[in-house]
Amino acid sequence: MHEQHYPQSSSFQATILCQKDIYVRPDQLLCLVLLFRPRLDIIDIYAGIFSTKLKMRAQDSYFPIFQSPEDMPNLQGRTAIVTGGACGIGGEIARALAIHKCRVIMVNARAKQGTEAVSQIRKEVSQDAAIEWRYCDMTDLIQVQEVFSSLCDELPRLDLCILGSGIDQAHFTTDLHCIDAYFGMMWLGHFYASNLLWPLLRRTSRITGAPAPRVIFEAPGQQRSKSVADDSSSDEEDIRRTAYDAEVCSEIFRRSRTSMILGVRHGLAERIAKRHHDNIYAIAVQPSKALSDASSHPRRDSHWQPSDLCDHVLDTLSKDDHFTVRSSSRIVLYAATSSDVENEYLNGAYLVDVGVSGREKDLAADPSLGPGFWDISERAIKAVVGKDAMVPWDQEWVRSPKDDVSA
């Protein structure tokens, strides 16, 4: 009997991501064919298994395999604001929305990135694509007030507010207001922006036939900091300091993410939207969870089977940067456009995958912390911008029969 020899794992420098969704470009499929070409005798074996693996990984996917996000509805006439929209996940989100005819306003603090992103998207989609860029440093609360107050006044409607600006740092630092940079970026600046835009969201929610506006906060799945193992310094004290900084930053990052989830669920959703019977959805999503959990899945280096090789091929393809960004953006686009959000009433939800709600841990799951955290957030903004910084949460609110019943 002819003995089959399967390749060893050392031939594939891949990290097992175990993602349920898969996006493979045609050129990547060609690489796969070339990979199997020397072994024509096993192509038939692997072809069926590879096809099955694709279906298994894509069975919960929101978008079809090998295609652009075509399951998204036509967004003609709608308007979206995307912070951090000039690169990475934000850039992919802005691109997808523009493809589906949505007017997109990207907001970030790097002019060159912003203008290049607009140019690239128009080149790819259409020169007439309704996409523009605004400058704003989300850690500068005074600037946030100026930019988003202006947007609230000039825009006729706002259907999507996707708040995804983030920072990538290896050491603890504060912003220009002496506030922890993680907290200031991930929650405080975006919270203030949502306050300034809420009257416009309310007006949009009353447009006949318009879907409910959505405010989406992105919570990155992991703190991206310098690894101690990658430190080239031979000084033992420097290494210890790096390890300490990484531990401190990681803890601060987790707390900032917890604060964001707490503020979305027990603040915007419970305290504002539900209390005022607003047809507005506030959602927290974690677009990079699948990537951050990669190390929890061990590699299998013995007793190789054909299915193991197919897994490693798919995992190798998924290391492509374009794939990673597009895959991570899908959960955000799902939260922004899927009818599931209204059908299943996902107001205040914390989504970690397409159609999958995450479980808040510890403080984020404690509703008793909501009022205090809300008060601290508002006081921090007023301390920087002024006592009249916050727009009244009942502005543009119209009493409905539901309010009379609840009263």
What are the structure tokens assigned to 183, written together?
């907290």
Domain boundaries, the chain: 9-64+306-321, 79-222+253-292+328-406
> Which residues lie below 8 Å from residue 155, measured CB to CB, with a gap of 6+?
79, 105, 200
Higher-confidence residue: 353 or 385?
A: 385
- Long-range CB contacts (within 8 A, 24+) of 306-312: 306/6, 306/42, 306/45, 306/46, 306/49, 307/49, 307/53, 308/6, 309/6, 309/7, 309/46, 310/46, 310/49, 310/50, 310/53, 311/16, 311/53, 312/9, 312/12, 312/14, 312/16
Candidates 69, 31, 70, 67; CA nearest to 50 is 31
> Which residues lie below 8 Å from residue 365, measured CB to CB, with a gap of 6+?
359
Looking at residue 125, the DSSP 8-state letter turns out to be S
Higher-confidence residue: 171 or 381?
A: 381
Asked if pLDDT for residue 405 goes beyond 80, the answer is no
> Which residues lie below 8 Å from residue 41, measured CB to CB, with a gap of 6+?
2
Q: Which one-letter amino acid corresponds to residue 272?
A: I
Q: Are 154 and 79 in contact (CB under 8 A)?
A: no
Please identify which residue in the block is written with the tokens 């009942």: 394
What pLDDT does residue 20 have?
Answer: 36
Structure confidence at residue 191 as a pLDDT band (50, 70, 90) = very high
Looking at residue 62, the DSSP 8-state letter turns out to be S
Question: What sign results for the dihedral spanned by CA atoms 219, 224, 225, 229?
Answer: positive
Percent pLDDT > 90 in the chain is 34
What pLDDT does residue 402 have?
Answer: 53
pLDDT digits 0-9 by tens, 114-134: 899 899 999 988 888 899 999
Environment class of 18 (CB within 10 Å of its CB; exposed 0-12, middle 13-18, buried 19+): middle
In sequence order, what DSSP letters do the residues of 256-293 get, joined into one string? HHHHHHHHIIIIIIIIIIITTT-S-EEEEE-TTHHHHT
pLDDT digits 0-9 by tens, 17-73: 233 344 444 445 555 555 555 554 444 545 555 555 454 444 333 333 333 455 688
CATH topology of domain 79-222+253-292+328-406: Rossmann fold (3.40.50)
Q: Report the chain's mean pLDDT, rounded to a whole number.
A: 73
What is this structure's pTM?
0.72
Asked if pLDDT for residue 178 goes beyond 90, the answer is no
